Structure 1
Amino acid sequence: MGIAGAVIALFGLREVASIAGPVVLALVLVIAVAPVRSWLDARRAPVWLQVAVPFLIVVLVLLSMAGILTISATQLAFLLPSYTSQFDQLIDDSQHWATTHGVSNDMLSKALQAFDPGKILGLAQSLVGSLIGVLSSLFLIVVLLLAMCLDAPMTAKILMSGEGSRPQLVEALATFAHKTRRYLIVSTVFGLMNAILDVIALSLLDVPLPLLWGVLALIANYIPNIGFVIALLPPTMLALLDGGVQTMVLVLVAYIVINVVTQSFILPKFLGDAVGLSTTMTFISLIVWTFVLGPLGAILAIPLSLLTRALLIDSDPSARWAQALVSGKLPNG
């Protein structure tokens, strides 16, 4: 019954993904800037200021990203057709190299059909277009943000008043907000660090549209497990077409070095156990929420899974075994 109910709920969400996605995004953004409201409240700022400042911070960030993505995607659309001759030349050079090394042209043709840089760049353009499509519903997101920011002070008081009757649920929602906020803040800081270093590396290597690939790296940083690959492939393929194999290898090395240093060595020390999801559950959440909400679901996979865990597992005292299952750690005691 539980599995059947979950399937019905997920397919229902999928049918209203154009509404559910912006609602969840607005909720996550309001949670992310909640410390700003708390800071203003502690200094007895007027209520209107407690609403206006977090709201304006989020709106400015959204508008900036939407502007950068729109301009860069337009430039990419005009740029891609100009690489047709380079791609044809790349095929000719590959066939010549294969012939001199005893590789048949048939084998090479099949390999080139399976590995087409134009298709990968087209996929990047499609991904950017999907992100712009999400941000194109900016009016709905802004209205939801404003409504949630207005309700945030009262919502916090209502949740606190429920500690007597439903303490586990209130504690679970508070934990969800704390983990989501920590995950977003740490991921954003390291995503910005990665994006800046990627832009610098791409600019030094003269790869076109470094700002676009930097923004893509920032957004892909929120996608668990496969985000790095999504951010890596488009600039690498563009570097191959624009500067040749040497430039592609340099871009590949730069991305791997930056990612290994920041994501493998530094990020875990700051993020720690904030997510509370095992590697398997993280990957499953990526698949499920991408299926339900599309590209936005991939970006919000971790917050959505944390919310689901808070509502269905953490709020139930008898579900400690399930907590251990999704976190991959044995319960204390």
Structure 2
Amino acid sequence: MAAIVVVLAGVQAASVVVVPVLLALFIAIICHPLIEWFHRQGLPRFLALLPVVGVIAIIVLLLTGLVVQSVNEFTQKLPEYRDRSAAQFEWLVAQAESYNISLNWELLQSQLDPSRAINLTVNMLSGVGNFMASFVIVLLIMVFMIGEARIVPAKIRLAIKHPERTMGNVGAILHAINKYLALKTLISLFTGVLIGFSLWLMNIDHYLLWGVVAFLFNYIPNIGSILASVPAIIMALIQYNPWIAGAVALLYLAVNVIMGNIIEPRVMGRGLGLSTLVVFLSLLFWGWMLGPVGMLLSVPLTMVVKIALMESDSTRWLAIALAGDEILRMADNEEGSGAAGLENTHVMAEPAETKRQ
């Protein structure tokens, strides 16, 4: 236990280095099948890498430019937004007094200063911009990782006594992460487009930016959509009135229900093999360990931990503790041999595929 605490403390202390490496690793896992496809078409690996890295670089540059431009426009309009927010605040107090609700203006103004919400939005946008600006380092690490990928199996065979099992475990981990991240990216992209288009129809300022924020924050389980809605709701409140802000909130709620509760479960299969409690706790844990990127990658990181725990008899009980609803099906089918059934699945979202086969 002491060794685990020391390792976790070391990872947290080195998060400045660990975060770009992890981010590059997961992007490399997503891109590697596409690079292999280009290679099978006859391109050398280096040339097969160029179009993939080029597309990623162009997307990041476009998103960075969008965020920087939006932050500049937001900063220029800040005095106007402050005046509007103060007017909305006064209107809210007047409405409360019309219903014989007495409010202490000075106390409310000090505790609910509208400029705080505006500053929060500016800080959030600046954080997204800084994150994208540092993405060049991530791309460089990813390029070197993909270049090393073809010799990793040889290294494992030379370094480990029983490489077959290890290679199988690595393959299971890569398959689970690739499937999750690829599907999650498509769902997040559709969510961002839907949010951005809807806000454009509502004539909300910076609708493209809010769509990008919705895309990025959709990777965060449970609370990502809530966090993504905050700046857009604040903008609608400042730009129009509480009724439009409420409509924007309902929009985010509807999109979250449709995408998170209807479409995503059907696309992902029966689930990730992680209980809802574990997903939420992993969000808190990895967020504490690695910051915002840890929150974005909390689910795939926990999937890796679960698969690794599953490979040892002494830690398999921990993997079962992390499991979701599929453990009930295994218990019903095998009458208490859920641990053995869990070992055969390897991948969180695999039961549905196994059954179809």
Tell me the TM-score normalized by structure 1: 0.89
| C-alpha distance in 1 between matches for 2:161 and 2:271 | 26
Q: Specify which of 27, 48, 66 is matched with residue 46 of structure 2.
A: 48
Please report how far the alpha carbon of residue 42 of structure 1 lies from its aligned counterpart in structure 2 after TM superposition. Answer: 3.3
Which residue of the partner structure matches residue 231 of structure 1? 228
Secondary structure of the residue aligned to 2:77 is helix
Q: Specify which of 249, 255, 271 is matched with residue 268 of structure 2.
A: 271
Which residue of the partner structure matches residue 152 of structure 2? 155
Check whether the contact 2:184–2:219 (CA below 8 A) recurs between aligned residues: yes
| C-alpha distance in 1 between matches for 2:172 and 2:119 | 40
| C-alpha distance in 2 between matches for 1:187 and 1:18 | 25
Q: Which has the higher mean CA deviation after the structures are superposed, 114-123 or 126-135?
A: 114-123
Which residue of the partner structure matches residue 222 of structure 1? 219
Check whether the contact 1:134–1:296 (CA below 8 A) recurs between aligned residues: no
Check whether the contact 1:131–1:295 (CA below 8 A) recurs between aligned residues: no
Distance 1:124 1:111, change over 3 A: same
Q: How many residues align?
A: 329
Which residue of the partner structure matches residue 353 of structure 2? none
Secondary structure of the residue aligned to 1:277 is coil
One-letter amino acid of the structure 1 residue matched with residue 184 of structure 2: S
Greater RCO (CA < 8 Å, at least 6 residues apart): 1
| C-alpha distance in 2 between matches for 1:133 and 1:150 | 27
Secondary structure of the residue aligned to 2:191 is helix
Say yes or no: does 1:319 pair with 2:315: yes
Which residue of the partner structure matches residue 287 of structure 1? 284
Which residue of the partner structure matches residue 75 of structure 2? 77
| C-alpha distance in 2 between matches for 1:202 and 1:7 | 46
Secondary structure of the residue aligned to 2:17 is helix
| C-alpha distance in 1 between matches for 2:157 and 2:213 | 39
Distance 1:92 1:127, change over 3 A: closer
Please report how far the alpha carbon of residue 156 of structure 1 lies from its aligned counterpart in structure 2 after TM superposition. Answer: 4.6
One-letter amino acid of the structure 2 residue matched with residue 64 of structure 1: L
| C-alpha distance in 2 between matches for 1:196 and 1:321 | 41
| C-alpha distance in 2 between matches for 1:73 and 1:40 | 38
Check whether the contact 2:157–2:163 (CA below 8 A) recurs between aligned residues: no
One-letter amino acid of the structure 1 residue matched with residue 126 of structure 2: G
Q: Specify which of 8, 11, 14 is matched with residue 9 of structure 2.
A: 11
Return 5+ residue gaps in structure 1 as ranges.
Answer: none
One-letter amino acid of the structure 2 residue matched with residue 263 of structure 1: G
Secondary structure of the residue aligned to 1:105 is coil
| C-alpha distance in 1 between matches for 2:219 and 2:55 | 19
One-letter amino acid of the structure 1 residue matched with residue 185 of structure 2: T
Check whether the contact 1:83–1:241 (CA below 8 A) recurs between aligned residues: yes
Equivalent residue runs for 1:242-257 within 5 Å: 242-257=239-254
Check whether the contact 2:21–2:138 (CA below 8 A) recurs between aligned residues: yes
Equivalent residue runs for 1:1-333 within 5 Å: 1=1, 4-106=2-104, 117-159=114-156, 165-273=162-270, 275-311=272-308, 313-328=309-324, 329-330=326-327, 331=338, 333=341
| C-alpha distance in 2 between matches for 1:10 and 1:123 | 30
Check whether the contact 1:203–1:210 (CA below 8 A) recurs between aligned residues: yes
Please report how far the alpha carbon of residue 275 of structure 1 lies from its aligned counterpart in structure 2 after TM superposition. Answer: 2.9
| C-alpha distance in 1 between matches for 2:272 and 2:303 | 7
Distance 1:88 1:117, change over 3 A: closer
Identity %: 25
Secondary structure of the residue aligned to 1:45 is coil
Distance 1:120 1:174, change over 3 A: farther
Check whether the contact 2:153–2:167 (CA below 8 A) recurs between aligned residues: no
Please report how far the alpha carbon of residue 147 of structure 1 lies from its aligned counterpart in structure 2 after TM superposition. Answer: 0.8
Tell me the TM-score normalized by structure 2: 0.83
Check whether the contact 1:191–1:218 (CA below 8 A) recurs between aligned residues: yes
Q: Which has the higher mean CA deviation after the structures are superposed, 110-119 or 201-210?
A: 110-119
One-letter amino acid of the structure 2 residue matched with residue 325 of structure 1: A
